[in-house]
Amino acid sequence: MTTTPDQFRESWEHWHSAREAALSEPDGWLGLTALHWLDDQPTALDGVPGLWHVDGDTVVHSGTPETGILTPAEGAPGVRVALGERSAEVIRRTGRYAVRIHDPKAPALASFAGIPVYEPEPAWVVSGRFTAFPERRIVVTGAVVDGLEHRHPAVGTVTFEHGGTEHTVTVFGDGSGPTRLLFTDATSGVTTYPAARILHIAAPAADGTVTLDLTRAENLPCAFTDAATCPIAPAENRLPFAVEAGERNPRLPGGAVRQGSTETQEVSA
């Protein structure tokens, strides 16, 4: 079925509004105010009560009624501890442990004014061809935090054409349906966030055809907060042309995020 320009715009605006609504949630990425890396020495953290330290494969939180032993999974969302209005999220990344602080009154959340974007143009909706790998493989990338790595299950490649040239990228997923593309392009570090953007791709048709709607290329959480541990794009997904579509860098002048220096924090999702 052919989509009219008005229908395309309406569908895109619905997607964009949903993205902004999710970021506006008190428990969303903009509510993160700090990222503290832990060691085996009990340490007090600004913003939450108690002491925190690593003990083998666990994190111990002591000195409050919520005292406990926490065991977060590698690379997964953390284990949350409610501490008054704020909460602490204990995460594990590349064998290291950290605590992220969630605050519903975070300055970035209070000042959020929307996600800057390129104007959506139907020309940035392109067709591609999915080719599955014989066996799922793991692609290892770095992260926006030095020393960390991300392990991505890669299910195949997508080949598409732009400017008369074919480009092939690796896509990630669990092999059961939709995939995701982690990429950079010639706008990265100029008008878009430098580490990567992500594009969600619907499951391929029976003949392997997929649609890449680059007007829906999303920022990773690290574009919005200094308390994320996001991956960077793999080398094979660094496109040589400018994808002037999707979300722009919210940290640039006129963007939506206003944060100070990271001080002793490290950046990462």
Give the tens place of pLDDT for each residue, 70-114: 999 999 999 999 998 999 999 999 999 999 999 999 999 999 999
Which pLDDT belongs to residue 1?
61
Q: Domain for residue 16, yes or no?
A: no
CA distance 133 to 155: 6
Query: How does pLDDT run along the chain (269 residues), one tens digit per residue?
Result: 678 999 999 999 999 999 999 999 998 899 999 999 999 999 999 989 999 999 999 999 999 888 899 999 999 999 999 998 999 999 999 999 999 999 999 999 999 999 999 999 999 999 999 999 999 999 999 999 999 999 999 999 999 999 999 999 999 998 788 999 999 999 999 999 999 999 999 999 999 999 999 999 999 999 999 999 999 999 999 999 999 999 999 999 866 554 433 222 222 36
Tokens 């200094």 belong to: 226
Which pLDDT belongs to residue 217?
98
Which pLDDT belongs to residue 266?
29
Rounded to the nearest 5 degrees, what angle is found at the Cα of 142, between the Cα atoms of 227 and 195?
Answer: 60
Q: Domain for residue 9, yes or no?
A: no
CA 91 to chain centroid: 15
Which pLDDT belongs to residue 259?
42
Same domain, 229 and 201: yes
Same domain, 233 and 119: yes
Q: Domain for residue 4, yes or no?
A: no
Same domain, 86 and 156: no
Number of domains within the chain = 2
Q: Domain for residue 35, yes or no?
A: yes
Q: Which long-range contacts (CB under 8 A, 24 or more apart) does 260-264 make?
A: 262/226
Query: Which one, of 177, 174, 246, 181, lies nearest residue 214 by Cα?
Result: 246
**Dihedral of alpha carbons 222, 241, 161, 5, sign:** positive
Neighbours of 53 (CB within 10 A): 16
Same domain, 209 and 141: yes
Q: Domain for residue 214, yes or no?
A: yes
Which pLDDT belongs to residue 265?
27
The answer to whether 61 touches 50, Cβ cutoff 8 Å, is: yes
The answer to whether 258 touches 135, Cβ cutoff 8 Å, is: no
Last residue of a domain, one of 84, 103, 122: 103
Same domain, 138 and 228: yes
DSSP-H helix ranges across the chain: 5-24, 107-110
Same domain, 79 and 186: no
Same domain, 52 and 91: yes
Tokens 């079925």 belong to: 1
Same domain, 143 and 35: no
Same domain, 70 and 40: yes
Same domain, 126 and 232: yes
Q: Domain for residue 184, yes or no?
A: yes
Q: Domain for residue 220, yes or no?
A: yes
Same domain, 134 and 227: yes
The answer to whether 199 touches 237, Cβ cutoff 8 Å, is: no
Same domain, 118 and 196: yes
Q: Domain for residue 81, yes or no?
A: yes
Q: Which domain holds residue 77?
A: 29-103
Last residue of a domain, one of 55, 80, 103: 103
Give the largest CA-CA distance in the chain. Answer: 64
